[in-house]
Amino acid sequence: MGGKYRITGDKYPRMRRRRRRGRLVVVVVACGAALGVAGWGTLQLIDVFTGGGGTASAAGSKASCTVKSAQASPSASASPAALPKPAQITVNVLNATTRSGLAKTTADALEKRGFKIGEVGNAPKEYDKKVTGAALLLGPTASLNTSLSVLSTQVGGAERRADAGRKGAEVDLIIGDRFQALSSEAEAAKALSVLVSPQPAATTKKAC
């Protein structure tokens, strides 16, 4: 080339295009984002198969709480009401069935077991042939959890009922249709011992 654009010397200008650094930066950022997403997905899969890491272990610790039963101390349980002895209870034995002689034989058996016997005979009209169970134990309100409770140990399946208008301490044993005989002396003694010395209620505690 001649004229004023003549090139002299042994060095020539480079004819390469400038590299686009912006494109390189975009590629690097995209790769980093892809790696981040892949890592996050891997962690999620690990959580799924291991049960959620810390959260799962915490839930597991709650689920594995053990329940312990403890007997309440006798002092913590309510003390039973003072119960009278059979010799302190006067029982009227009344027959509400069509079977004759039941009141007399039952009264004799109760007397042998230490109870005092009052009236012996047929039930009044309001109860005659109307007691469908084994027996009805009737007494003043104060006797519901005292004298009637003790008397109930002698007759299995007997119903206790308070007569609010009754005066005095006597109680009635009204024999019903399903009555066969008094409980055996062994069964009555066992029921009475449970009544006098009830077992303390069990309490439950959770240990986590």
Give me the number of domains the chain comprises: 1
pTM comes to: 0.58
CA 100 from chain center: how many Å? 47
Residue 115 lies in a domain: yes
Residue 196: the pLDDT is 81
pLDDT digits (tens, 9 = 90+) for 123-168: 999 999 999 999 999 999 999 999 999 999 999 999 999 998 888 9
Residue 53 lies in a domain: no
Higher model confidence: residue 169 or residue 27? 169
Cα gap 1→153, rounded to integer Å: 136
DSSP secondary structure string, 115-162?
A: -EEEEEEEPPTTTTTT--SSEEEEE-GGGTTTHHHHHHTTSTTPEEEE
Residue 30 lies in a domain: no
Residue 176 lies in a domain: yes
Least confident of 29-38, 98-107, 178-187: 29-38
> How many secondary structure helices (H) and strands (E) does the chain include?
5, 7
Residue 25: the pLDDT is 58
The one-letter amino acid code at 198 reads P
User: Where does the pLDDT of residue 183 fall: very low under 50, low under 70, confident under 90, or very high at 90 and above?
Assistant: very high
| Rg of the chain over all Cα atoms, to the nearest angstrom | 47
Higher model confidence: residue 126 or residue 49? 126
Residue 144 lies in a domain: yes
Cα gap 149→14, rounded to integer Å: 119
Higher model confidence: residue 75 or residue 100? 100
Residue 62 lies in a domain: no
Q: Count the Cβ atoms, other than its own, within 10 Å of residue 140.
A: 19
Least confident of 62-66, 76-80, 91-95, 98-102: 76-80
Residue 82: the pLDDT is 82
Q: What is the mean pLDDT of residues 60-88?
A: 54
- What is the span of the domain harbouring residue 147? 86-196
Residue 158 lies in a domain: yes
**Whether the predicted pLDDT of 109 surpasses 70:** yes
Q: Retrieve residue 142's tokens.
A: 């104060």
Residue 149 lies in a domain: yes
CB 94 within 8 A of CB 173: yes
